[in-house]
Amino acid sequence: MSLNRSEQMVFDYIQRHPEERQFWVHKVQSISRSESDDHAAALLLESDLWRYYEERSSVASPFRETAQREGLRRTSMRNLAEYLMRLWLAPRPKKKREHEAHE
């Protein structure tokens, strides 16, 4: 999976800071439990990741320097959301199709 520069920056930051990583592992698992499907969970997580990027841009390097140089233009965090779900969640059981359930 390919991450954009902003997503890669968030991922690298999370990996280097154990307390941040633990927060995001819990967040990913919590969102996944609260949503009925992976698509809905990824949308919520993507939104939270962008808010995190914005928040970090005012206080933490390298986010602050990037924001000062490039501004804060909304960037998709969808690939990162899906990647974190793959990393930190057990796969959901596949739902049987209607015709398979009757066989």
Q: Average pLDDT of the chain?
A: 92
The residues spanned by each domain of the chain are: 1-10+36-89
Cβ-based neighbours of 6, under 8 Å, separated by 6 or more: 53, 66, 75, 77
Does the pLDDT at position 103 exceed 60?
no
pLDDT at 100: 57
pLDDT in tens, 33-43: 999 899 999 99
Going from the C-alpha of 18 to that of each of 8, 13, 63, the distances in angstroms are 17, 9, 18
Q: What is the pLDDT of residues 37-94, one digit of tens each?
A: 999 999 999 999 999 999 999 999 999 999 999 999 999 999 999 999 999 998 767 7
Length of the chain counted residue by residue: 103
Instruction: Give this prediction's pTM.
Output: 0.86
